[in-house]
A and B are shown apart, each in its own frame.
Chain A
Amino acid sequence: MAFGDQFLREPALFPARLAGTAGGENEAWLDIPGGPYRVGGLSDAQSSALAARYEDRCEAASGAAHAVGISTFTVSEDEFVPHERSGRLNTFDFAYHEHSVHLAGHRMMAQISWRPVLTAALWTPLEEGPEFLETFENFFRTVVAYRLLECGGAVLHSSGVTDGSKAWLFYGHSGAGKTTIARRSLEVGHQVLSDDINALYLEEGIPVVAKMPFAGEFGYTNDRIGPFPVAGLHALKQAPENSWRAVSKASAVASLVSCAPFLNHDPYRLPRLMENLEEVVATTLAGVLSFNLEGDFWTLLESQPA
């Protein structure tokens, strides 16, 4: 099935025919890692929805010159293939190009492009309500992932934990134990950024981790946590006994790439992703944490060299 066939009535015309008009003249400025992000073209209802969702991470106006521009447009429902809502909302079709990425999904289409700086646009008939928010956020997470690539990092499927001065990322696919790690970390007095998805990027050449308010049992809140320097990157593996072993830089890069959503399927941006992660692991402790669900893995980790 070609790009957009399951979502768009005329995928071949997207984005050549950028139908749609701005829903309104409102802007929202989102303070999220890699940002700020300036979201324009919002109706009153859409800007109110974003303000309620992102609370004090969302400001009516900021004016930062380096903001990432995101335009939103309202398009006719006729542009889209009718679907039952359930089960499709989180699924996008991606089409990767040298200077842009196209996305098509349930009642949405979007473009991320470099002209030469990163800008993004979203077309949707959704004007308000939970479905607009969910659609926006799924699109927005993708934008943030691409933006963090430019910041020398990546979005990682991971559990992020901090002691208030440094942070650890425990990464792995669904079922690897990220939420369990988060719960055990809380028990020993650490703070959890997100147990699902975290921002890893360079700040003045130093790898740092910051909370993204997007997903997970601990993640869907707007409190600002971080950025903190990265103290360790640990791939998760459940096992009967707790153990930790160092891995080579190449092994760390390989497993990190597989946990970097959105970007690891993009042939044009994959080389940059590998380059970024190589730079991160060059100065960061990286290993595999094999752990059982009950044991004290923190004592084990704290005994490793920094």
Chain B
Amino acid sequence: MTITTSTVLRRVDDVRFRAVDDETVVIRQEAAEALVLNEVAGRLLDLINGQSTVGALIESLLDEYEVPEDELANDVREYLEELLATGLVTQA
């Protein structure tokens, strides 16, 4: 799928996660699969709520990280593609 600023995503139901230091442990509970996300990807997963658009997610992260908007937007798209590919999130 193509990710735009108006795209809305939600976490898959069996995803559980926990921030540990500056990373996030993510568990797919039904399969007991585990992976680790970096700080920004973990924060992104936390912000994804089935209601906020990708544009709103980027706005939220801009308030938290001192990164140029273009750079952050590119990173967010890249992280979202990975989250979609790993099945942690889906289109709302």
B-binding residues in A (CB < 8 A): 248-251, 253-255, 257-258, 264-267, 270-271, 274-275, 278
B12 interface residue, CB < 8 Å from A? no
Q: With a CB–CB cut-off of 8 A, which chain B residues contact A270?
A: 16, 27, 29
Q: With a CB–CB cut-off of 8 A, which chain A residues contact B25?
A: 250, 253-254, 257, 274
Q: How large is the interface on B (under 10, 10 to 19, 20 to 34, 35 or more residues)?
A: 10 to 19
Residue of A248, A255, A257, A265 touching B23 (CB-CB under 8 A): A248
- B52 CB to nearest A CB, Å: 23
B55-88 CB mask vs A (1 if < 8 Å, else 0) is: 0000000000000000000000000000000000
Q: Given A248-B23, A250-B23, A257-B34: A271 and B29 within 8 A (CB)?
A: no
Q: List 8 A-B contacts (CB under 8 A).
A: A249-B23, A250-B20, A250-B21, A251-B36, A253-B20, A257-B32, A265-B30, A278-B18
A-binding residues in B (CB < 8 A): 14, 16, 18, 20-21, 23-27, 29-30, 32-36
Establish whether residues B29 and A274, one from each chain, have CB atoms under 8 Å apart when the complex forms.
no
Docked Cα-Cα span, A270 to B32, in Å, equals 10
Docked Cα-Cα span, A267 to B29, in Å, equals 6
Establish whether residues A258 and B20, one from each chain, have CB atoms under 8 Å apart when the complex forms.
no
Of chain A, the residue at the smallest CB distance from B16 is A270
Q: With a CB–CB cut-off of 8 A, which chain B residues contact A248?
A: 20-21, 23, 36
Docked Cα-Cα span, A255 to B32, in Å, equals 10
Establish whether residues A258 and B34, one from each chain, have CB atoms under 8 Å apart when the complex forms.
yes
Q: Which of B14, B32, B35 has the most CB of A within 10 A?
A: B32
